[in-house]
Amino acid sequence: MTTELHAQAPALESDTFDLLDLRILCALEVNGRASFSRLGGVLGVSDQTVARRYRRLCAEGDLRVVAVRDAERLGHDQWMLRLRCVPDTAHTIADALAKRPDTSWIALASGGTEVICGTRPRTPGDRDDLLLGKLPRTPSVVEIRAHQLLHRFFGGPDGWLRKFRALTDDQIAALRPAPRPAAPAGIGPEDEPLVAALERDGRASLPELQRATGRSESAVKRRLSSLVASGAIYIDVEYAPESLGHRVGAALWITAAPAALHRVGQALARHPEIAHVTATAGPSNLMATVVTRSTADLYAYLSGPLGALEGVQHVEATPYLRRVKQLTYPRARRAGPPSARSRS
């Protein structure tokens, strides 16, 4: 794991959480459904300690464990939208978009006049309804830039927390779910109640999932394992990066020379500051989320590691003001960068 990452790992600088909290977050990123006793055994603490820390992370660090459909594995379209809005209307537009089931994360940027929205339409009709119907007819939206996501270099099941290197390779191996033969990735109509329940709570117990689906516990367990093994869904962790001392986030819209596109994307994926990077179609050909401790660190990254990449022709950085929606559900209004897992 460590050899493929940039030599420097992000630093934990938090007044609220310590190294054990970070290790619990990292462990949940590896296996979000691992029991407290399994987590405690791997981390060398009691299950009561893990449960107590988990509850505090939920209350004070915005921690949620949820299932996420992997649109790339499922072959679904994904788009990143930049909506320039009339002043004082961006909040309303962002809140309305957050209620749509096909939006995956939403943030306010550019002094509150821009909404950045990730969307995963499940059908061409859903896509056209949003891009050709509702948004163009919204008078307060004065410009729409649509970037189709083409290839994920980092993000999705690969989470930013791994870059802290808080767990050893042996600990990661001990936490991973038991391997199963991979089936073709797909979510059928009969899977929707199960996936919907896991999108609400990725740690829902088997009895809770049985009640939500009407299927037996053994059937639920088998199907859940199959969905995860196929890559159709993954169990994700949502948290506030500012609780780990990383208070500044920004979207990067990068133009690389076509011949250097793949190489630049791979290099960005190794940078500790990068939480997500994907190739896109649109005005730029790469989009990334960068998370840093301060604006000074953001400048140091833009002028240093990013600026030094051969093949990068243009960079536009758009600092986030507030996250509105993360992963599957709208968030309470608060300052700070979007979740470090705000990606596809």
Residue 2: CB atoms within 10 Å? 11
Rounded to whole angstroms, the Cα distance separating 79 from 242 reads 26
Q: Which pLDDT does position 1 carry in this prediction?
A: 35
The helix-helix angle for 36-43 and 47-60 (nearest 10°) equals: 110
Q: Which pLDDT does position 12 carry in this prediction?
A: 82
Q: What is the mean pLDDT of each run of 10 residues along the chain (344 residues)?
A: 53 85 96 97 98 95 93 91 93 91 89 91 78 84 94 94 95 89 84 96 97 96 94 93 92 97 98 97 95 96 96 96 75 48 42
Residue 268 near residue 279, CB atoms below 8 Å? no
Q: What would the two tokens of residue 162 be?
A: 């791994």
Q: Which residue has the tokens 């516990």?
A: 217
Rounded to whole angstroms, the Cα distance separating 218 from 251 reads 43
Q: Which pLDDT does position 328 carry in this prediction?
A: 56
The residues pairing with 65 across neighbouring beta strands, listed in sequence order, are: 237
CA distance to 159, 300, 320, per residue, from 248 (Å): 18, 13, 8
Rounded to whole angstroms, the Cα distance separating 127 from 135 reads 11
Residue 84 phi, psi dihedral angles, 5° rounding: -90, 125
Q: Which pLDDT does position 329 carry in this prediction?
A: 53
Rounded to whole angstroms, the Cα distance separating 189 from 228 reads 17
Rounded to whole angstroms, the Cα distance separating 97 from 48 reads 39
Q: Which pLDDT does position 227 carry in this prediction?
A: 94
The reported pTM is 0.88
